[in-house]
Structure 1
């Protein structure tokens, strides 16, 4: 019986968990979940967008995204609205409080990135990011 090849998907998940161990304490300190932080970060980076696009970018299933957005809206971090010219669409954007939340978190998050890079190395970090971006572009 042949030896199974190493699992790419399992290794990626394990690497994600190793990386998140650096960031979870900061998220917990600010009372945010990983999903909420991804939404905040993406909206800060890209500006307002349709909820389905946000779900795709954040790798959050659409039904789960509904709950994430409801909680962020309740907490004053995001606002959702339907554009007057197309009531079928739902747009999402950061509020001023959401912008402030991102700024408050940024210093901690940057410190965590620096800690990872100090152990992993700047060149290897860039190489890893390049390889992962390349992997994302592969067609199934």
Structure 2
């Protein structure tokens, strides 16, 4: 068995935790979890999403997404509508209040990205993004998105 420090899942988790340590305090200041933020961010990329698609692009399980959507809806940050073609399917979109929340947090988030870029290097970060996308693609885990975060 390979050395624990060379376990790919652990290396990815360690890097994720190092990155998220920069963002968590900002999200907590606005009473948001990481998953809630991912949902809000995903909702800024399209006019609306069906729940299954939103779960896929935000990498959140459907049961967790259901709880997150209830919370965000109660806070007035998202809204659910009925799809014309399938009355059972809800269409989820971000509200003006949700967009205001994004606008409030975005400059602070961008400062964190700038700090990470300065520490790691812009070229190395671009290479890392590319390698992570390639890894996800070759293992069948790509969401198909190429939007810059």
**Would you call these one fold, judging by a TM-score over 0.5?**
yes
RMSD value, Cα:
1.2
Question: Who is 1:72 aligned against?
Answer: 72
The TM-score, its normalising length taken from structure 2, stands at 0.88
Shift of 1:85: 2.7
Shift of 1:47: 3.0
Which string of whole-angstrom CA distances, capped at 9 and with x for unpartnered residues, describes residues 15-41 of structure 1? 100000010111011111000000010
Runs of 4+ in 1 over 4 A off after TM superposition: none
Greater CA deviation, 20-29 or 46-55? 46-55
Which string of whole-angstrom CA distances, capped at 9 and with x for unpartnered residues, describes residues 56-78 of structure 1? 11111100100000000000000
Paired residues in the alignment total: 138
Q: Distance in 2 between matches of 1:129 and 1:92?
A: 28
Q: Distance in 2 between matches of 1:85 and 1:48?
A: 15
Shift of 1:120: 0.4
Secondary structure of 1:46's aligned partner: coil
Secondary structure of 1:12's aligned partner: helix
Structure 1 unaligned residues grouped into runs of 5+ = none
